[in-house]
Amino acid sequence: MTKSLKTPCIGVCSTVFGDDVCRGCKRFQHEVIQWNSYSDPEKESVLTRLETLKTQIMESKVLILDEQVLKQQLESLKIIFNQDTNPYCWVFDLFRQASQSISDTSEFGFEILSSQTDNLLVLKKIIEEELFELSEAHYQRYFKVEEHFNAS
């Protein structure tokens, strides 16, 4: 299956204010700027990195009990999600778009694992911050290499 190669932009770009990593979509500044000139494999690489990070975070916070129920609920709420991504990314999209609409997670086919909180709005904030921190660490590690060498 091929993934959608649409931009992951959510319209909350912080790179215009000088951030190296966008607080909205978590892409790197150069990826945001050059997105339209990227080849499909380049776009796929960015999307795969974001999917991997989201999946890693969500697997530590929630357990999907019934993928079909989750999918049906997303569709009924008209949540925008990519069916070709890992279902944990679907939960991420649900949190991002409708966490305030969920009163019983079992009705959506998942349960909260996190002992940090059972408040979905708080958990959404924790997840967003963790994704930003992981994206920023990845950027610092692999794209700011020249600064590390120049500082030596």
Question: What pLDDT, in 10s, does the model give residues 40-61?
Answer: 999 999 999 999 999 999 999 9
Q: What does the pLDDT read at residue 2? A: 47
- DSSP code of residue 84: T
> Whole-number mean pLDDT of the chain?
90
Question: Residue 94 falls within a domain, yes or no?
Answer: yes
Other CB atoms closer than 10 Å to residue 133's CB: what's the count? 14
Question: Residue 65 falls within a domain, yes or no?
Answer: yes
Q: Cα separation of 84 and 70, whole Å?
A: 14
Total domains present in the chain: 1
Task: Indicate if the pLDDT at residue 151 is higher than 80.
Answer: no
Instruction: Find the mean pLDDT for residues 103-123.
Output: 88
Q: What does the pLDDT read at residue 129? A: 96
Q: Cα separation of 96 and 125, whole Å?
A: 9
Structural domain of 33: 15-151
Instruction: State the pTM of this model.
Output: 0.88
